[in-house]
Amino acid sequence: EYNDIREKSLAQWLDEMEKHPDIAVRCGVKLAREYVEYLQNEIEKQKSENALKAEYLKKLKANK
């Protein structure tokens, strides 16, 4: 799947950046990984909330 390829590519690039001679780049890798994880969690949270809203709207429509 396209998203899997993107995630693997990003992970590979971050792995390479961990070996970079510049300490600022190496330290930025941890921050980048944490931010990607945060964004993935936010996406899952939004999906869950959207599913809940859709379920509520279906019930409202069925009761009319």
Q: What is the pLDDT of residues 1-41, one digit of tens each?
A: 998 999 999 999 999 999 999 988 888 999 999 999 999 99
CA angle (43 as vertex; 31, 24 as ends), nearest 5: 10
Q: What is the pLDDT of residue 23?
A: 87
pLDDT class for 63, splitting at 50, 70, 90?
A: confident
Number of continuous H segments (helices) and E segments (strands) in the chain: 2, 0
Q: What is the pLDDT of residue 25?
A: 87
Under 8 Å between Cβ of 13 and 22: no
Helix, strand, coil percentages (3-state) for the chain, rounded to 5, are 90, 0, 10
Q: What is the pLDDT of residue 52?
A: 95
pLDDT class for 56, splitting at 50, 70, 90?
A: very high
Q: What is the pLDDT of residue 26?
A: 87
